[in-house]
Amino acid sequence: MDKYIYPNEDIYHEQLNGLEDRFSTVPLMEELKQKAREEGLWNLWMPKNHGGLSNEDYCALAEMMGRVLWAPEVFNCNAPDTGNMEVFMKYGTEAQKAQWLEPLLSGEIRSSYCMTEPDVASSDATNVRTSIIREGNEYVINGRKWFITNAPYERTKIFIVMGKSDADNPNRHLQQSQILVPKNTPGVTVVRPLTTLGYDDAPLGHAEVLFENVRVPAENILLGEGRGFEISQGRLGPGRIHHCMRLIGCAQRALEFACRRAVSRETFGRKLAEHQSVLEDIAKSYNEIEQSRLLTLKTARKMDEVGAKDSRDLIAASKITVPLMAQTVIDRCMQIHGAGGLTADYPMAEAFNYARWCRQADGPDQVHMMALGKQLVKRYAE
Amino acid sequence: MDKYIYPNEDIYHEQLNGLEDRFSTVPLMEELKQKAREEGLWNLWMPKNHGGLSNEDYCALAEMMGRVLWAPEVFNCNAPDTGNMEVFMKYGTEAQKAQWLEPLLSGEIRSSYCMTEPDVASSDATNVRTSIIREGNEYVINGRKWFITNAPYERTKIFIVMGKSDADNPNRHLQQSQILVPKNTPGVTVVRPLTTLGYDDAPLGHAEVLFENVRVPAENILLGEGRGFEISQGRLGPGRIHHCMRLIGCAQRALEFACRRAVSRETFGRKLAEHQSVLEDIAKSYNEIEQSRLLTLKTARKMDEVGAKDSRDLIAASKITVPLMAQTVIDRCMQIHGAGGLTADYPMAEAFNYARWCRQADGPDQVHMMALGKQLVKRYAE
Amino acid sequence: MDKYIYPNEDIYHEQLNGLEDRFSTVPLMEELKQKAREEGLWNLWMPKNHGGLSNEDYCALAEMMGRVLWAPEVFNCNAPDTGNMEVFMKYGTEAQKAQWLEPLLSGEIRSSYCMTEPDVASSDATNVRTSIIREGNEYVINGRKWFITNAPYERTKIFIVMGKSDADNPNRHLQQSQILVPKNTPGVTVVRPLTTLGYDDAPLGHAEVLFENVRVPAENILLGEGRGFEISQGRLGPGRIHHCMRLIGCAQRALEFACRRAVSRETFGRKLAEHQSVLEDIAKSYNEIEQSRLLTLKTARKMDEVGAKDSRDLIAASKITVPLMAQTVIDRCMQIHGAGGLTADYPMAEAFNYARWCRQADGPDQVHMMALGKQLVKRYAE
Amino acid sequence: MDKYIYPNEDIYHEQLNGLEDRFSTVPLMEELKQKAREEGLWNLWMPKNHGGLSNEDYCALAEMMGRVLWAPEVFNCNAPDTGNMEVFMKYGTEAQKAQWLEPLLSGEIRSSYCMTEPDVASSDATNVRTSIIREGNEYVINGRKWFITNAPYERTKIFIVMGKSDADNPNRHLQQSQILVPKNTPGVTVVRPLTTLGYDDAPLGHAEVLFENVRVPAENILLGEGRGFEISQGRLGPGRIHHCMRLIGCAQRALEFACRRAVSRETFGRKLAEHQSVLEDIAKSYNEIEQSRLLTLKTARKMDEVGAKDSRDLIAASKITVPLMAQTVIDRCMQIHGAGGLTADYPMAEAFNYARWCRQADGPDQVHMMALGKQLVKRYAE
């Protein structure tokens, strides 16, 4: 980070802003990926049972990478590719792995996970309306998705698409399938990139994607027809926690900026650091960050010990707590910077946007509070 | 609003996004300005002593216009032009008025108010460093400003610049002057547009502006050398309140969107409106909006009765309260909309940005809390 | 207030704490009531249509009286007697008025309103379980009530009891009746005084009351069998607003204490008033008080104009907003006072308790947010 | 707890409320202390270097005991006796230990720590005004203290008094001494018990104490003249953390009550547990408790590893965070209980008071935020 990332932050943004197509490759990124690969700082997210790190050990790394929004990709650790690679590792056939997992692991291509739909509350995965219908040796896919991260990016080649293959199955959790759809398949349209709070998150981006009579071979199905919900459950835990870890890095960095600002800026004849309210903001922010970090660490440790499924109380707790904490802390630290804190002169504003949309990603906070609340009522009252 | 503004929101953004230069004229705007002029809905901000409305009467109009971010300009009521026109009306010579006020009042040109500087806490107006030095029949201006609204806009022709003409004057409030600098004067550079939370607020924009040995005739001075602080004091009151009024419109509109969303969206087998927490968010938002509106109205009424100077307690109270209220309410309403609430598909995200930067505009909340706190301590404890 | 109330605060508490029975008469109270009667400052709550003040005009008085918790009784303006007197005025027979309203208006006796029950959510009035059954020329009452204000007080003579006279009526709003039960009727037991946050609110108090086969003459029914719900609806509006007005007085007084403390106390070499965070707390508190006051005033004005029923949006808004505001503001002001702020050396701690239980009185905040939320969804989305 | 504490909660309060003198012994307490001693559950707070537990190990026990406010005393683990015993262990002479530490360790007597003064901001220990002046073989003590926990209790026999023995010493940290004053020494007056939010915390209590020409032998000085500040620094760390641990127990218990209430109470045709807002309150409370617990545990672990002095960042963080968290969580849980939640029918209201005054005990939150803020600015900005 000290040697290659922080010193290149301005250059990265200059290159990005200089691109003719905002969703094409930033040259610096490819150089830095090469360096990271050479130094063995590559695919650090790899789970322990595949020779990688425990969730707990990965926490500190993810936080560190999270301090710069584009840094995780340098180490091939960015969402949603990490989650997608894990899906391939857990559920892919050898052929699927050879074709898609290998270039993903090497950082050659990127991938999207096509879950969220504009017309239904996708936080309840059973709601998806996209259809995946078998016709002979093919599946035909029709539907509209949005907030598909990576979709606009030129290097993205493969979509994992969630849809209904058996909408009438009385078991609501067996209606869904997940299927591989190469981005260049006829009938796939990346309709438009979406912004959140004005940010397009280029070059990876989030897009609305339309599937119109898209046909793929039957062997593109993942794990088997009707097992889409099962895959989505298996996928979510670590991904949520990775966002939390990165957001803690964002918040921590904002706090450090605020501390430096507090000693370098004077108002009304005193340094900011001599205003009691600034010290209180700094102290509160530290407390909130530290508590979030400990909660996320405990969640990671529990996942290491008992698996994601039995850790869903703490996963929910982290998912509810950390993005909102990061939004709040970064908001305070921007305020300490005056109007400049809101501009692109600091990384805080963009990190604020990251925190804000994470309160919606993988389901809004409210859904997780409902789920966690129910677990707790069960635990303590029954 | 119903006939000309809401139906044109999408078209406005399409035209804006289709501009080659984002800071050039949006054709729709000129058409609508023409319509507004024809219907006599023009310069509604005009103060009562110039034949216009009282502050109190203007409140309802400003709130209504505030519901769409670009609507105030349609009625020639956008900041900072309204404040600048008032400066011309109160402090300008006849020649200055003829040259600049007339085309401003007719909506032909736009103007900027150049106060904030990157290097000092400009919330304390006595801090400005830009120099305005008399040399013969000219003044020479040197300095760097930022967050200069309108500066990037192609129709902006005149800058009102605040600087120090007598930095050694023992009376800190007599050191400053304000002077008129046509945007096209040699030595004036609009360095770059600034973004806040990813928004450039095109086509008007906010910019960093550099003044290097800029020379203007001595008669460009406003009111007289050493009276810059006096002008800045006279200017601020109504402008702050106008922002508050508009932000109340933003928040109110977000609430109405949230209510419509609550009946049109189902999650977990219930309409959102049947979730108690959604109803609570709606109720709280209403309460906060209504209270802010009443506070702003009272402030306007007090300004009508005793003038801005003696209303500075309530002006501060509104300035502290309303932008934060709007940020909070809009944040909740976006959350009720799911991820879509953060996109440009709704006006909420951009309004959120407006609320957020207003917590810095005309001085950060903290400065106004300090000033108000001191007044209150004096009032109740002495 | 300046002449008779503030100077007597300590004496009042000394007398109260010196009582053998905490729910007997404080001599000072009777002296001050006499003075208030003599000066015509009596029954100020009387509604306009009975020759009294408008709700709006009463606001300022109620706020003033609210600054000292026991002051409203001095002016015969304390809850729940004001609401009960209004019930008698609106719904009582001439005989009922002669027997009970007269001595209530003269301050000779006190009354209780027996609504809330421990076993059901009494915020929904249709839930009450107490039975009021006609037997010949009598009604027989059985049930358990709690939080019955005034019940333990020795001067309290009459209870207005809500119960079900026709539990099987298919119209849930016609099942209830209200009936007059003299406190000394056989079968009535004041079981125990209740405390909230450690306060017994003596000498008036709040009690659990048991009704066991209590028999009263049939003419004790109010308005008529089956009209209990109607009475309860008619009673609630002004009462809720009176609490709000008084709580604004509590909060305002706490703010004034905080301001005085801020100039009289030094920590770390500076007066509290020179700590930016203290000034911020004071400024925020002022803003919140002022906004609450304006909301309550607007509610009062609307009630004056269109009646309580059509003002239920604003009544709910005030009920949700003001007690929580008062709790928050007083908490901050206590904190500025150090540990002493929590003691009986200041009126703040007891006022904090008043604010806290008002968040439950007449239904918890949540119930009013639900009701208001539904109204708003209807207003803006249908 | 399950066998002896919870089943006795009602009995404890009955006995306490039945005492003629509220500050005399509750018989049940002595029985339970006897049982605890027999089962070896005694003096669990004892530090590791005296054969006791690590701070980390003690956390879980303190949380458990904290679930019932009077339980810590059963195990001889109540404040301030634990801190006072530690003072004796670290700084006492053999004679002092024999006379006072032994009966304290056996639970025979209680002690007070006399630090806070009404007239100065005692959060800054250098402010104390009480004088401790050497006269021959005696010290003469004059001053006024308040919030002296245990002082009103009949079993309390010894006071540790902080005062100035050398007010003119240029080193502000060498001006203070601490000295042992038996409660029955002539000139010592327990002026009055103090309440916080209406609670007197009987039978231990907090009192105002007056020292008028109190004379004790010179050998009663602790550690040596001028070393009072040093002792106070050594004493504070663990005590603060013990309060935090206990408050986490209070909050956790309130949460469990809320969960049980959520399934047992119906409103508007649904169980509370089916209202989304109740589930959100429960989920949020869990998150806040769990985060506070992890922060406190980390603080304890750090104290075990590097000592209290070098853990002052985390001690401050815990002190700022936990009492406010407990106040907030308990407030929410009381609200879920309706008006009953505020009464003595549940332990929540009294625990709320405990949380509230802990925000003042050992210095108000604001002082610790200032101290922590300064450390952080130093850490990150220099």
Cα angle, residue A339 at apex, residues A338 and A345 outer, rounded to 5°: 100
Domains in chain B: boundaries: 6-105, 110-222, 230-381
- pLDDT of res. C73: 98
Token duo for residue A297: 């660490």
Helix, strand and coil percent figures for chain A, each rounded to 5 = 55, 15, 30
pLDDT at C123 over 90: no
Q: ipTM value, please give it.
A: 0.96
C62-114 pLDDT, tens per residue? 999 999 999 999 999 999 999 999 999 999 999 999 999 999 999 999 999 99
Instruction: Please name the fold of domain C230-381.
Output: Butyryl-CoA Dehydrogenase, subunit A; domain 3 (1.20.140)
| Inter-chain touch B321–C287, beta carbons under 8 Å | yes
For domain B6-105, give its CATH number from 3.10.350.10, 1.10.540.10, 3.40.50.2300, 3.30.465.10. 1.10.540.10
Is the CB of residue B278 less than 8 Å away from at least one CB of chain C?
A: yes
Could you give the CA distance from residue D273 to residue B60 in angstroms, rounded to a whole number? 42
Q: What is the pLDDT of residue B236?
A: 72
Question: B157: which DSSP letter?
Answer: E
Question: Which of B357-366, C95-104, C135-144 bottoms out in mean pLDDT, i.e. has the lowest?
Answer: B357-366
Q: Take residue A118 and report the two structure tokens written for it.
A: 């504009």
How is domain D110-222 classified at the CATH fold level? Butyryl-CoA Dehydrogenase, subunit A; domain 2 (2.40.110)
Residue C244 touches partner B, C-beta closer than 8 Å: no
Query: Residue A269 above 90 pLDDT?
Result: no
Crossing angle of helices A312-336 and A365-381, rounded to 10°: 130
pLDDT at C275: 92
Contact (CB, 8 A) for C282 and C346: no
**Residue (of C131, C88, C92) closest to C111 by Cα position:** C88
Give the model's pLDDT for residue D94. Answer: 97
In angstroms, the CA C78 to CA C71 distance is 8
| Residue D100 per-residue DSSP state | I
Q: Which of residues 223-242 of D touch A (CB under 8 A)?
A: none
Q: Does A375 touch chain B (CB under 8 A)?
A: no
Give the per-residue pLDDT at A268.
80
Query: Has residue B157 got a pLDDT over 80?
Result: yes
Contacts of residue D49, defined as CB under 8 A and 6 or more positions apart, other chains included, come to none
* A 154-193 residues with CB < 8 A to D: none
CA distance D305 to chain C (A): 31
Query: Residues C50, C55, C57, CA angle at the centre, nearest 5°?
Result: 100
* Contact list, C277 vs chain A (CB under 8 Å): 276-277, 280
Q: Write the CB contacts of C48 (distance below 8 Å, at least 6 apart in sequence).
A: C54, C55, C304
The rounded distance, in Å, linking the Cα atoms of B341 and B332 is 10
Which residues on B lie below 8 Å from A341 (Cβ)? 360
Per-residue pLDDT for C357 more than 90? yes
- Tokens of residue B308, six digits: 């801005």
Q: Is A276 on the interface with C (CB under 8 A)?
A: yes
pTM: 0.97
- For residue C352, the chain D residue with the least C-alpha distance is D197
**What single string gives the DSSP state of each residue in C44-106?**
TT-BGGGTSB-HHHHHHHHHHHHTSTTHHHHTT--TTHHHHHHHHHHH--HHHIIIIIHHHHT
Question: What's the rounded mean pLDDT across residues C171-199?
Answer: 97
Q: How far apart are CA B296 and CA B56, in angstroms?
A: 9
Tens-digit pLDDT profile for residues A44-62? 999 888 889 999 999 999 9
Q: Does D236 score more than 80 pLDDT?
A: no
Q: Read off the pLDDT band of B234 (50, 70, 90).
A: confident
**Is residue C275 within 8 angstroms of chain A, CB to CB?**
yes
Nearest to B370 among C279, C372, C381 (CB): C279
Task: Give per-residue pLDDT as tens, D74-100.
Answer: 999 999 999 999 999 999 999 999 999
Q: Do residue D287 and residue A381 have CB atoms under 8 angstroms apart?
A: no
Query: Region A272-297: what's the mean pLDDT?
Result: 97
The alpha carbon of B114 is separated from its chain's Cα centroid by a whole number of angstroms, namely 13
Mean pLDDT calculated for residue range A177-185: 98
Q: What is the pLDDT of residue C246?
A: 98
Q: How confident is the model at residue D28 (pLDDT cuts 50, 70, 90)?
A: very high
DSSP H helical ranges for A274-364? 276-306, 312-336, 348-358
Q: Is D276 on the interface with B (CB under 8 A)?
A: yes
Radius of gyration of chain B (CA): 21
Cβ A335–B365 below 8 Å, yes or no? Answer: yes
Given this model, what pLDDT does residue C377 score?
97
Residue C221 DSSP one-character state: B
Say whether pLDDT at C148 is over 80.
yes
Distance CA(D263)–CA(A381), nearest Å, equals 7
Whole-angstrom CA distances from B247 to B59, B243, C297, D16 are 11, 6, 23, 57
pLDDT at A31 over 90: yes
Q: How many CB pairs under 8 A join A and C?
A: 10
Number of Cβ within 10 Å of residue B378's Cβ equals: 12
- Give the chain C residue nearest D350 (alpha carbons): C197
Quick check: D5 pLDDT over 80? Answer: yes
Instruction: Give me the percent of chain D exceeding a pLDDT of 70.
Output: 100
CB proximity list for D79: less than 8 A, separation 6 or greater: D72, D149, D239, D242, D243
Phi, psi (rounded to 5 degrees) for A212: -120, 110
- Please give the pLDDT value at position B356: 98
User: Average of pLDDT values for A244-249?
Assistant: 98
Query: A232-236, B66-70, C320-324 — which is least confidently predicted?
Result: A232-236
pLDDT at B240: 82
Say how many CA atoms lie within 13 Å of A380 toward its Cβ: 23
- As a 3-state breakdown, chain B gives helix, strand, coil percent values, each rounded to 5, of 55, 15, 30
Q: What is the mean pLDDT of residues C222-248?
A: 90
Which pLDDT score is estimated for C363?
87
**Least CB-CB distance to C373: which of B256, B260, B283?**
B283
Residue A318 has pLDDT above 90, yes or no: yes
Q: Given this model, what pLDDT does residue A320 score?
A: 97
Residues in chain D closer than 8 A to C194 (CB atoms)? 343-344
Report pLDDT digits (tens) over D270-305: 899 999 999 999 999 999 999 999 999 999 999 999
pLDDT in the model for residue D268: 80
A6-15 CB contacts, 8 Å cutoff, 24+ apart: A6/A68, A8/A32, A9/A68, A9/A347, A12/A70, A13/A344
Cα torsion at C338, C341, C342, C343 (round to 10°)? 120
C228-264 and B365-381 helices cross at what angle (nearest 10)? 90
Residue B124 scores a pLDDT above 80: no
In sequence order, what are the beta bridge partners of C271? Answer: C266
Could you tell me the sign of the dihedral formed by the alpha carbons of A320, A322, A323, A326, in that order? Answer: positive
Contacting partners of chain A (3+ CB pairs under 8 A):
B, C, D
B125 pLDDT exceeds 80? no
Residue D262's pLDDT band (cuts 50, 70, 90): very high
Compare CB distances from C198 to D118, D275, D353 and report the shortest one's residue. D353
How many Å lie between the alpha carbon of A332 and the closest alpha carbon of chain D? 14
- At residue C15 the predicted structure's pLDDT band, cuts being 50, 70 and 90, is very high
Shortest distance, CA B275 to any CA of chain D (angstroms):
6
* Lowest-pLDDT choice from B123-137, B308-322, D367-381: B123-137
DSSP A172-225: TTSSEEEEEEETTSTTEEEEEEE-BTTB--TTT-EEEEEEEEEEEEGGGBSSST
Across the range C15-20, mean pLDDT stands at: 96
Output the DSSP codes for D141-187.
Answer: EEEEEEEEETTT-TTEEEEEEEEES-TT-SSGGGSEEEEEEETTSTT
The pLDDT of residue A363? 87
Taking the CA of residue D314 and the nearest CA in chain B, the distance in Å comes to: 27
How do residues B177-224 score in pLDDT, each as one tens digit?
A: 999 999 999 999 999 999 999 999 999 999 999 999 999 999 999 999
Confidence of residue C121 (pLDDT cuts 50, 70, 90): confident
Q: Look at residues B297, D235, A320, B227 and name the one whose alpha carbon lies nearest to residue C298.
A: B297
Contacting residues of A for B365, CB less than 8 Å apart: 335
